[in-house]
Structure 1
């Protein structure tokens, strides 16, 4: 059986209620929209506002999985390599996967 969501997805569990999952989705969407706004406005990936969005993204991910620097950067790599993550980001805005990847790498190298 192939694992379409990458090598770390087996570490995730979802024992949450429908309401909790809806809250997670809304929170994740709000974080993603910060990246979309930055990309659309030409804000550099290392700008304070985008780095704060990465911090929020890391904290969001940490609710389910506590990634190391390398693991977090590996997750970001899935945003630019062929994967459902890349397809989702690119479906939202062209270049969003690479923008998010760049921002994560900068943040991870400074903070993890």
Structure 2
């Protein structure tokens, strides 16, 4: 079974022009081009388009999406990982919707507002299972204690520092810096210090953290939004730092 470019554009909520651009840049090739010049897409192309659209929603640019698709050849496995994340987001958003509905109802009715109700869904507990599986219960518990002990202003400062480091490393990648250069390694040292506020990774753990940045679209979106391919650059720089400085 196959679909015309017009059918795909309509079903995906995009345009034929966008799909032709995906073809031009090598991101999504049609399964065939008819004698009339129209592009047609089979099931494999349709699945690839689904992955492209999912990654676009994470904020990745087309070069970054191409790298992710190239690095994840097992389509079903990649989609399973993305599905797990989507379901967690669905649950979190459902809790937030209920929380806001409760707040509106109680404000309109003059009822007492309970903190547990109106703040439900605004936490990071959806990542607990993932963190525990990767690095252990102690790592998760420590990071949670450290984070919740911070004031709101300090939490904003910490996130701003993470964004500063992400941008600086991405800019170094865009300039073509060597991952082992003094400038890049100093930025990685600051990154390791930032991570160590929550949990102190050893050599293996820090290298694995860099690998997760590349494998997980959520992290790739954070870094590649500053420069295409920045996540892989940061991963490689983290490995150099770990092998040289950590045990």
TM > 0.5 between the two? yes
> Which residues in structure 2 correspond to 1:1-112 (within 5 Å)?
3=127, 6=131, 7-8=134-135, 10-11=140-141, 12-13=143-144, 14-15=147-148, 16-112=150-246
Gaps spanning 5+ residues in structure 2: where?
A: 1-87, 89-125
1:101, CA displacement in angstroms?
0.2
Contact 1:5 1:83 in 2 (8 A): no
Distance 1:82 1:29, change over 3 A: closer
1:34, CA displacement in angstroms?
1.7
CA distance in 1, matches of 2:140, 2:224: 24
Give the structure with the higher percent helix: 2
Higher mean C-alpha deviation, range 93-102 or range 80-89 = 80-89
1:27, CA displacement in angstroms?
1.3
Distance 1:26 1:82, change over 3 A: closer
1:5, CA displacement in angstroms?
5.6
Higher mean C-alpha deviation, range 57-66 or range 23-32 = 23-32
**Rg bigger for which structure?**
2
CA offsets 1:59-101 (integer angstroms, 9 cap, x no match): 1111110101000111100111134112322233210110000
1:39, CA displacement in angstroms?
1.0
1:10, CA displacement in angstroms?
2.9
Q: SS at the partner of 2:225?
A: helix
Number of matched pairs: 112
Q: SS at the partner of 2:157?
A: helix
TM-score between both structures, scaled by the size of structure 1: 0.88
Contact 2:167 2:223 in 1 (8 A): no
Gaps spanning 5+ residues in structure 1: where?
A: none
